Amino acid sequence: MCGIVGYIGKNNRAGEVLLDGLKRLEYRGYDSAGMCVMDEDRQQTFKAIGKVSMLEKKIAKSCVESNIGIAHTRWATHGKPSIKNAHPHTSGKIHLVHNGIIENYQQLKQDLANKGHKFYSQTDSEVVAHLIDEYNKKYDFEDSVTHALTEVRGAYALVILHEDEPQKMIVVRNSSPLVIGVADSEFIVASDASAIIQHTSRVVYLDDGEIAVMTPDTYYVKTFSGKNKRKKEQILDWNDEQAKKEGYAHFMLKEIFEQPESVSDALRGRIIAKDGMAKLGGLTEVEKQLRTIERIVIVSCGTSYCAGLVGEYMLEEYAGIPTEVEYASEFRYRKPLVDKKTAVLAISQSGETADTLAAIREAKNKGALTLGIVNAVSSTIARETDAGVYNHAGPEIAVASTKAFTSQLSILVLLTVFLGRQRNMSLTMGKRILSELQRIPKKIDQIFEGEKDIKRIAKKYSKYDSMFYLGRKYNFPIAVEGALKIKEISYIHAEGYPSGEMKHGPIALIDKDFPSVVLAPKDSVYEKTISTIEEIKARSGKVVAIATVGSKDIENIANDVIYIPKTLEMLTPLLMVIPLQLLAYYAGVTKGYDVDQPRNLAKSVTVE
């Protein structure tokens, strides 16, 4: 969850690169930040509570010129945000930054304390610095690191410096992401590529159990056991401009308005219109195996889980494949029943979500075919699944996911057609779904024309403490996602519920101070949804309805109405979610919150 940056090169610009990298990684954590730079004569460490801007103020008072350094922006796991708990952590001449969780840190800490080590923080991370320092009494820098790793259990990405070797940096990865940017006369290490892309598009992804040893001139990679590894450079498929606000007030708003483009990118080159068929190149190698699949299990977390719920409806109704959706965080703990006739599909924007990765590994151990829908090219989930599909949505910087979600839905539609046409889906149905799917980007643009009304409604309802989000069939998962968004961004308590379940208990909450957002497209369950609205109104509840253009009758019973264009029932989630994203965004802005970096949250959850 934390953001790590490291720099080593022939130029004295470590401070500049590290600070800029932290700003670009701040969506991964913003409880505190720190930096350590050094040269042949000295090392300097700076720490600050809060956002990177606070660290920047501290550094501005000092001259930071160096060709090597490490930096960190923290999302707290062990120990509250404080100067002592901020990274980098130090023991003797060892300085390091860490992302992940050291599972056996308490035992290690006690053993080290018995040997005379004194600890200054509450973190698990500091223990690793002391452990390396302890081994450094007997071994050189590199060997101290490798010996220490034999004792450490858990998930970790580490970037380590030694004051006696100021022209060397050691980088370690185990179940927590790290990527190396390769430029002319310099290398940049980071938790993800957003901190690298402004310097170079050439990158090397470290795999679990690998160590990179770097100097200003070169680097090499080896395993924890000491075996050298040859790593292939890759080229990032997005550019620096995509990671900038480009005039928008927030990244979240920019990414909401990018959705016509990101949906189009998800579809580009993947539709064979005349055959009513989807072409998914990433599934080519397992196409025959997919024909024999009898069951699909979707594993994911957060917003990606909501996408999976929509996919369940699609895959069962149109592909005819029994489908289940599991929280990835629970999947491997309940002894899942999967076999070679099961496909386990992971959905993850970052491709590094720890719980989802663990679920995929469990599924592979049980013989299942593993698939991925991932936005980050060459991420761990993308590399470890048997096959998969990339979103091509570009970088998503705001913590709350928007464009990644609709691109995931788009790919789930393509996957449904792909698998459905392998089975009993007719040519006519395939062509109909794909033809309408291609119209979705323009229909999203039409929703944006009503942005002012959505903003007005968001301001009106931002004063309430709790809300219901209600939907049926394909739009029940969108109700869950809408509730999640407004919780994340405006801190309003909200519950996403199936409309039909409201009267089985939750209706007791309805009164004049408990409004509901009801998703009411003109679909096969429209009349039942109208009945739900009537039930709420009979109890003095206020209703915001999201309805299909032309449904004027709904204006007679709802307090406020937002309209979406008409589309196929299975595609309504792609349109329905847009107003909910804007409602959450403008509610958060109205309340004065930082909508790009909500409290307690981080973009990529790489720890359990």
Q: Are residues 377 and 325 in the same domain?
A: yes
Cβ-based neighbours of 184, under 8 Å, separated by 6 or more:
none
- C-alpha distances (whole Å) from 357 to each of 366, 370, 598 are 14, 11, 25
In this structure, the number of other CB atoms found within 10 A of the CB of residue 42 comes to 10
Structure tokens at 159: 């970037």
Which pLDDT belongs to residue 434? 98
> Same domain for 579 and 468?
yes
Cβ-proximal residues to 576 (8 Å cutoff; 6+ apart), any chain: 471, 475, 478, 519, 521, 546, 564
Q: How far is CA 15 from CA 21, 133, 171, 248, in A?
A: 10, 25, 18, 28
Q: Is the pLDDT of residue 76 over 80?
A: no
309 DSSP assignment: H
Q: Which of 285, 296, 263, 297 lies closest to 423 in space, CA to CA?
A: 296
Q: Is 2 a catalytic residue?
A: yes
pLDDT at position 1 over 70: no
Residue 552's Cβ-side half-sphere holds a number of Cα atoms within 13 Å equal to: 1
- What are the pLDDT digits (tens) for 481-512? 999 999 999 999 999 999 989 889 989 999 99
Residue 316 has pLDDT above 90, yes or no: yes
What CATH number corresponds to the domain at position 580? 3.40.50.10490
pTM score: 0.79
Structure tokens at 405: 């979600």
pLDDT digits (tens, 9 = 90+) for 140-168: 999 999 999 999 998 899 999 999 999 99
pLDDT band of 243, cuts 50, 70, 90 = low
Q: With a cut of 60, say whether residue 466 has pLDDT above it.
A: yes
Enter the tokens of residue 274: 């005349």
Report the run of H or E that residue 119 belongs to, with start and end: none
The last residue of one of the domains, among 210, 236, 262, is 236
The predicted-structure confidence for 77-104, as pLDDT tens digits, reads as follows 767 889 999 999 999 999 999 998 898 9
**What's the pLDDT at 454?**
98
Closest CA to 203 of 242, 177, 170, 176: 177
Burial level of 550, CB count in 10 A (0-12/13-18/19+)? exposed
| pLDDT at res. 240 | 63
The answer to the question of residue 242 being in a domain is no
Q: Crossing angle for the helix pair 141-149 and 125-135, nearest 10 degrees? A: 130
> Is 607 contained in some domain?
no
Tens of pLDDT, residues 539-583 = 999 999 999 999 988 999 999 999 999 999 999 999 999 999 999
Domain assignment present for 98: yes
pLDDT at residue 34 greater than cutoff 70: yes
Catalytically annotated residue among 431, 443, 542, 603:
603
Q: What is the 3-state secondary structure (H, E, C) of 547-607?
A: EECCCHHHHHCCCEEEEECCCCHHHHHHHHHHHHHHHHHHHHHHCCCCCCCCCCCCCCCCC
How many residues in the chain?
608
Rounded to 5°, angle at Cα 187 from 181 and 192 = 35
For residues 410 and 450, membership in a common domain is answered with no
Cβ proximity of 97 and 87 under 8 Å: yes
- Overall number of domains in the chain: 3
CATH number of the structural domain spanning residue 71: 3.60.20.10
Task: Average the pLDDT over 338-363 and give the result.
Answer: 92
- Please give the helix or strand (H or E) that residue 425 lies within, else none: none
Same domain, 552 and 508: yes
**Interstrand relation of 466-471 and 493-498 (parallel, antiparallel or unpaired):** parallel
- 92 residue type, one letter: G
Q: At 239, phi and psi to the nearest 5?
A: -120, 175
C-alpha to C-alpha distance for 428 and 534, rounded to whole angstroms: 38
Residue holding tokens 């720490």? 47
Q: Tell me the residue type at 171.
A: V
What pLDDT is attached to residue 245? Answer: 74
3 state SS of 82: coil
Catalytic-role residue among 2, 36, 301, 306 = 2
Predicted local distance difference test score (pLDDT) of residue 185: 86
The least confident of 74-88, 418-432, 456-470 is 74-88
In this structure, is residue 449 part of a structural domain?
A: yes
What's the domain range around 174? 3-236
Adjacent-strand bridge partners of 277: 272
Across the chain, what does the average pLDDT equal?
A: 92
Alpha carbons 405 and 281: distance in angstroms, whole number: 21
Q: Which of 236, 266, 289 is the last residue of a domain?
A: 236
Residues 416 and 458 in one domain: no
pLDDT at 469 over 90: yes
140 — phi, psi (to 5°)? Answer: -75, 180
pLDDT at 127 over 60: yes
| Whether the Cβ atoms of residue 125 and residue 76 lie closer than 8 Å to each other | no
User: What pLDDT band is residue 598 in, cutting at 50, 70 and 90?
Assistant: confident
27 — pLDDT class (breaks 50, 70, 90): confident
Q: Does residue 68 register a pLDDT over 80?
A: yes
Q: Does the annotation count 63 as an active-site position? A: no
Q: Which residues pair with 100 in a beta bridge?
A: 156
Domain boundary among 203, 236, 269: 236
In a domain, 17, yes or no: yes
The answer on pLDDT for 30 being more than 80 is no
Q: Does residue 433 share a domain with residue 458? A: no
Predicted local distance difference test score (pLDDT) of residue 603: 59
Q: How far is CA 295 from CA 320, 376, 492, in A?
A: 10, 26, 37
Q: How far apart are CA 105 and CA 126, in angstroms?
A: 9
> Is the distance from CB of 282 to CB of 381 less than 8 angstroms?
no
Tens of pLDDT, residues 261-278: 999 999 999 999 999 999
Average the pLDDT over each of 212-226, 404-418, 432-446 and give the range with the smallest value. Answer: 212-226
Return d(Cα 28, Cα 479) in angstroms, integer. 26
In a domain, 605, yes or no: no
Confidence of residue 40 (pLDDT cuts 50, 70, 90): confident
CA distance 522 to 200: 49
Task: Say whether 342 sits in a helix, a strand or coil.
Answer: strand
pLDDT at res. 605:
60
Same domain, 361 and 502: no
Share of the chain above pLDDT 90, in %: 77
* pLDDT 10s digits, 372-392: 999 987 788 988 999 999 998
Domain co-membership, 50 together with 160: yes
Nearest to 71 by CA among 125, 119, 17: 17
220 and 257 together in one domain: no
Task: Tell me how crowded residue 404 is: count the other CB atoms within 10 A of its CB.
Answer: 29
Note whether 205 and 285 are same-domain residues. Answer: no
The pLDDT assigned to 42 comes to 86
| Res 544: pLDDT | 97
Q: Which is more confidently placed, 76 or 358?
A: 358
Say yes or no: 424 and 545 in one domain: no
- pLDDT of 64 higher than 80: no
- Are residue 215 and residue 269 in the same domain, yes or no? no
Is residue 473 situated within a structural domain? yes
Residue 604 covered by a domain: no
Q: What whole-number distance in Å separates Cα of residue 40 and Cα of residue 98? A: 24
